[in-house]
Every structure is written in structure tokens, then in C-alpha cells.
Amino acid sequence: MFSFQVRVYWEDTDAGGVVYHAQYLAFLERARSEWLRALGRGQDALRSEHDLVFAVRAMQVDFRAPARLDDALQVTCALRECRRASLVFAQEVRRDGALLLDATVRVAALNASDFRPRAIPEPLLRELQALQGVE
């Protein structure tokens, strides 16, 4: 399971001093982006080399406990399913091992040039399929 550390800053919090619910989506996005980068498949390279971008199609999020200013969070990312034109990720946000949020995120493969659905290029598809379910 890929893990990415995020620090909670003032701009991430609401008037109550806790992380604003929508900011968690940015944390999840960063972890997925860093996961791709760690594979040597950064989003800019996918766009320029394959005319490929991934866009969130659906998301199920369970908020378990709040994060607060200055918390160091671990945001995880695991590929659960790789289909011809979509990926499904299991993601979590934890603080000191305590689960704060878990999510299932489906992303769709799109042409970067026109945002139309497309298949994931075969070499990348095989690489991703080898990673599904691996933690």
C-alpha cells in the first residue's frame, strides 16, 4: 500500500479548527498522483506521451473522526481493480494509526485532448493489472 504524508495547515481547516470535509478529497488526489509518480507514470507524462488523463468518476467516502490543525496525516492508496478504461482505489487517511477517513474512488481514463472516455494503453494496462490487489 502506497502511503503519502500530509500536514494539516490553517488553509485546510474550517472555522471549528478541523479539516474541512472537501479538503480530504484534495489529500486523496495528492496520494493518487504521488502513487502514479512513484510508478514512474506522472500525470504530465501520461498526458504528453499517451494523451491520457484520469478523472474521478465516483467516490464513496466515510468520515470517521476529524483531523485538526498541524496534524501529520498518512494518506494511503491501493489499487483494488483495474479495468480496461477505469481504476478503483481503496484509500484511507490516518493520524498516528487511527483511521479518520476511508474511501473508494473510481477514476475513468480519458483522452487529454477532448476528455472523451478511452482505453488505457496496453503496456500501462498490463503494468497496472499486475498491481491490483497488492498491498
- Using CB atoms within 10 Å of the CB of residue 11, give its burial: 0 to 12 exposed, 13 to 18 middle, 19+ buried: exposed
Give 18's strand partners: 68
Q: What is the dihedral of CA 23, 27, 32, 36, to 10 degrees?
A: 120
Residue 14 designated active-site: yes
Choosing from 14, 96, 102, 114, the catalytic residue is 14
Beta bridge partners of 49: none
Task: Quote the CA–CA distance of 78 and 90 in Å, as a whole number.
Answer: 5
Q: What is the 3-state secondary structure (H, E, C) of 90-129?
A: EEEEEECCEEEEEEEEEEEEEECCCCCECCCCHHHHHHHH
Active site residues per annotation = 14
